[in-house]
Amino acid sequence: MTRTLLATLALLVALAAPASAQSSKKTTFTIKGAGFGHGVGMSQYGALGYAQNGWDAARILGHYYTGTSLGTTDPNKKVRVQLIGQTGSARISGARQAGSRKLDPTKTYVARRRALTEVELLQGNRRVAVFKAPLQVAGEGDVTTLGGVGSFRGVMELKPGTFSGLTVTNVVGLDDYLQGVVPAESPASWPAEALRAQAIAARTYAITTAKSADFDHYADTRSQVYKGVGIEQPSTNAAVADTRGQIVTYQGQPVVTYFFSTSGGRTESVENTSLGREPRPWLKSVEDEFDDVSPRHRWTTKLTMASASKKLGGLVKGSFKGIRVTRRGESPRIVSAEVVGSRGVSVTDGATLRARLGLFDTWASFASISGEKAEPTEGDGSGGTTAPPGFSALLRPIGVLRGDVIAGSRNVTIQARVNGRWVEVGTTKTRRGAYRWPTATPGTYRAVVGGAYGPAVRIG
């Protein structure tokens, strides 16, 4: 009995001995988010969910664009879409006419800038003609192919760029344009009512926005994605035809109908985003109950502190410590935030963070959690570890898990690695951004804040 008691005492004394030299502090940086896109107006995956639950296009649009109704516009009005902003030359095939000159649709022609106001057209090494800009080229069957870009309805308009090269713009009827937009924005396999809602939203957006005096829209996400004839599908063409000329109106006037991929469960009011600083009554935050059909409904991104610092660039003062959100919108997407560095903070907004860090959305939360082993101090308890009966006075911490946290919560859960899995062993709170957890049991530990995990630290 005496030998057993002495052996146990010796073990407890060994456990109470000071921990070995402190390990270097490691930090994890976790971003948890929801949604994909700017968050304003119609969620395309949300529209899919509503259509799957029996809603028609008018009801879907009325939900996302508060207080609106459907009106009509001329489906044949012309839309100008910039296909190429600048190029040295443009290859054109399927063309039947350039200006007043007839062409052979079976041949390929090359257009080049000539002086400040002219465009020359070549076939092989032969110059076909020189035209005053802008040159309009029409295709056989109203379709022309632009080399390296695609085939498009309407006419191609070519003219010298401001400083060099050529610009190429597609001038096309509104609903012909939509036939190349709808399948690029929403999968053709989606329910008809979701595709009809997309067609009406895209048609309204097309007539209520313009990018410059020279053209109305880009062919990419700077406006809405447009891929021309090559992407057209029977189901999406039917959605355009079924809604011919229909648009979204507020108090009888067409209004801007922003749309995006995934809301995360709630859209955002436009004044809380980079799309506008003034409230718009039809662009209010609304619940989006069926958006969970999207693969981006919830997402998590993990970066090293070094990688995050590099992406944030000049926003980091000193060494990067984390990001603190200071104001959220209704969804709750980020309106303003602080990038915390060792030498101070930089104020920024959600759109900037999304662009710098490559996030799907501005609905995001950030957690930087550091962890290291430290020596126990006189005031440390045992971290919740219970000593064997009769030996509680002898049991002392063998080490401390400590670290700093910049996150949206002060609550810290401590986990230990037990038999190959993480098990909760206690909770604590941060104090002035720091946590401390003493333990009398050797093992591997980590801190968890808001579902984000700190680094694993071996103690003992």
Tell me the pLDDT tens digit for each residue of 208-243. 999 988 999 999 999 999 999 999 999 999 999 999
Tell me the three-class secondary structure of 90-106, residue by residue: EEEECEEEECCEECCCC
Q: What is the mean pLDDT of the chain?
A: 92
Tokens of 60: 């879907």
From CA 190, how far away is CA 48, in angstroms rounded? 7
Residue 97 has pLDDT above 60, yes or no: yes
Contact (Cβ atoms closer than 8 angstroms) between residue 226 and residue 184: yes
The per-residue pLDDT for range 172-210, each reduced to its tens digit, is: 999 999 999 999 999 999 999 999 999 999 999 999 999
Q: Which two tokens stand for residue 390?
A: 């009769």
What would the mean pLDDT of 156-172 be, rounded to a whole number? 95
Residue 307 backbone dihedrals phi, psi, to 5 degrees: -65, -45
The mean pLDDT of 361-379, rounded to a whole number, is: 93
Q: Which amino acid is at 385?
A: T
> Cα(406)–Cα(403) distance, rounded to whole angstroms?
10
d(CA 367, CA 456): 15
Of 7-16, 37-46, 69-78, 424-433, the range with the lowest mean pLDDT is 7-16
* Predicted confidence (pLDDT) at residue 17 exceeds the cutoff of 80: no
Largest Cα–Cα distance of the chain, in whole Å? 113
- Residue 130 CA, chain-centre distance (Å), reads 46
The pLDDT of residue 439 is 94
**One-letter amino acid identity for 304?**
T
Residue 364 has pLDDT above 60, yes or no: yes
What per-residue confidence (pLDDT) applies to 402? 97
In this predicted structure, what is the pLDDT of residue 389?
A: 43
Mean pLDDT of 355-364: 98
Mean pLDDT of 349-354: 98
Distance CA 400, CA 378 (A): 12
Q: Reply yes or no on whether the pLDDT at 392 is more than 60.
A: no
The SS3 of residue 382 is coil
The DSSP symbol for 372 reads E
Cross-strand partners of 110: 91, 122
**CB count in 10 Å sphere of residue 94:** 20
- Specify the amino acid at residue 151: S
pLDDT score of 395: 64
Residue positions counted in the chain: 460
Whole-angstrom distance, CA of residue 227 vs CA of residue 179: 9
Q: Give 379: exposed, middle or buried? Use CB within 10 Å, 0-12, 13-18, 19+.
A: exposed
Can you tell me the mean pLDDT for 10-22? Answer: 39
Token pair 């829209």 is found at 217
Q: pTM to 2 decimals?
A: 0.87
Rounded CA-CA distance 281/270 in Å is: 9
Strand pairing category for 118-123 and 364-374 = unpaired
Q: What average pLDDT score do residues 417-437 get? A: 96
**313 C-beta neighbours (distance < 10 Å), count:** 9
CB atoms within 10 A of CB 34: 26
Q: What is the reported pLDDT for 19?
A: 39
Count CB atoms within 10 A of the CB of residue 134.
17
The strand pairing partners of 435, in sequence order, are: 403
Radius of gyration from C-alpha coordinates of the chain: 31
Distance CA 282, CA 270 (A): 9
The pLDDT-based confidence of 396 (bands split at 50, 70, 90) is confident
Amino acid at 38: H
pLDDT at 381 over 80: no
**Distances, alpha carbon 196 to alpha carbons 44, 56, 453, in Å:** 11, 9, 43
Work out the percent of the chain whose per-residue pLDDT is above 90: 87
Of all residues in the chain, what percent carry a pLDDT higher than 70? 91
Burial, 96: exposed, middle or buried (Cβ in 10 Å; 0-12, 13-18, 19+)? middle
Check residue 429 and give its pLDDT.
96
pLDDT for 435: 97
Give CA–CA dist 45/237, Å, rounded: 20
Q: Are 296 and 35 in contact (CB under 8 A)?
A: yes
Q: Give the residue-averaged pLDDT of 287-314.
A: 97
Q: Side chain identity at 333, as an amino acid letter?
A: R
> Helix 57-64 crosses helix 192-208 at what angle (to 10 degrees)?
50
Return the closest-CA partner of residue 135 out of 162, 111, 104, 115. Answer: 111
